[in-house]
Structure 1
């Protein structure tokens, strides 16, 4: 999104290109005029974005009418999502899977660092008087590890 946003710096999209559709209170008085103005803004954005390249690839951008959905957003590709995506409250990871009929060959050596390709969830590290300690899975059922209390966060992450 950064290259697309950067290109929009300084672009002004007038909300009343075909005329005003708002009354003195800011309420819409003409739905068709509002839609035409919105379409004009969308077409202007697409025109600006078509002029740029991202990583030497042309950007393909077109305005689509709200009813012209290519895929119903209520029906995501769940098979792809279950293999290539990991989602949590604070983090979304999308990776290329090993199936070349689904994803192209990875360009990085990420698998040499993360065998599962996904970054692992965070784990607690406790400082003892002599060293840093990562609680083992065997400590899950206990309330203490290395003489320290295990946090609820850690207990939730363990399988």
Structure 2
């Protein structure tokens, strides 16, 4: 049976992020800027967005598989006071939830995972949301047959 590696990886990560106290109440796939611009009052005060990014083909392995690198940006978001310290705490909790060479992903074919340079963005004037963008690159083998 062919496994969609990106879907399996996403589901694994989302499940582990949902277990993070205070932040895991809502973990969803979305575009961070859309959420910031929507100013949706029904959202919790703290939550995590997973935003899929680029997929890079690294190597073709015959006709049966391809080695790829996928970037997901994991972004804790808060509209509470003391956002900087809250985002630092969320960052550490996310790193703990995704610890290890493979970010704790136990799916056959996942080779490595590593966080890339992160960007904290505290709310500007007129904005409510402060965020910490944490790109995670995951290398895996995608079977094609």
Bigger share in strand: 2
TM-score, length basis structure 2: 0.30
Which structure shows the bigger proportion of residues in helix conformation? 1
Higher relative contact order (CA 8 A, sep 6+): 2
